[in-house]
């Protein structure tokens, strides 16, 4: 992946659809006005269009915005629409699944182990 996800604070997936003609300013306005989030806090924001064959990702690093765009030649991104436009937090593994065309909620994926004491 082109983004170093270790530098990203949070990864937000927009549950509604956006007009893919929107660029940095339009997407930043959605983040701040609709999601009530700070677009410049080092988080990655992901948006899809209604047909789910295009995706845009907005990220602010220390001195400017990055806008990533991906168009699938076949198939669709597995994003489930929520009638209420909101942002869902996903993790790095779910981001990889999404970009590979998989469901972000894998039923049979192994759960991450958090701070386990081994004796």
User: What is the distance between the alpha carbons of residues 100 and 108, in angstroms, rounded to a whole number?
Assistant: 17
Q: Which of 12-21, 81-90, 96-105 has the highest mean pLDDT?
A: 12-21
Model pLDDT for residues 71-83, shown as the tens digit of each residue:
988 888 888 776 6
Query: In the chain, what are the domain boundaries?
Result: 5-99
Model pLDDT for residues 5-64, shown as the tens digit of each residue:
778 999 999 988 889 999 999 999 999 999 999 999 999 999 998 888 999 999 998 889
Q: Which residues of 90-111 are buried (b: 16+ CB within 10 A; e: fewer)?
A: beeebbebbbeeeebeeeeeee
pLDDT of 109 strictly over 70: no
3-state secondary structure 42-77: CCEEEEECCCCCEEEEEEEECCEEEEEEEECCCCCC
pLDDT of 96 strictly over 70: yes
Q: Pick from 9, 25, 93, 100: which is nearest to 55 by CA? A: 100
pLDDT of 1 strictly over 70: no
pLDDT band at 84 (very low <50, low <70, confident <90, very high): low
Q: What is the pLDDT of residue 50?
A: 86
């Amino acid at each position: 992946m082109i983004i170093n996800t270790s530098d990203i604070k949070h990864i937000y997936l927009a549950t509604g659809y956006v007009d893919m003609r929107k660029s940095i300013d339009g997407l930043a306005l959605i983040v701040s006005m609709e999601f009530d989030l700070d677009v410049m806090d080092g988080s990655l924001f992901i948006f899809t269009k209604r047909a789910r064959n295009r995706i845009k990702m907005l990220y602010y690093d220390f001195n400017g915005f990055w806008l990533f765009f991906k168009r699938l030649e076949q198939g669709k991104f597995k994003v489930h629409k929520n009638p209420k436009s909101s942002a869902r937090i996903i993790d790095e593994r779910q981001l990889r699944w999404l970009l590979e065309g998989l469901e972000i909620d894998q039923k049979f994926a192994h759960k991450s182990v958090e701070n386990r004491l081994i004796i």
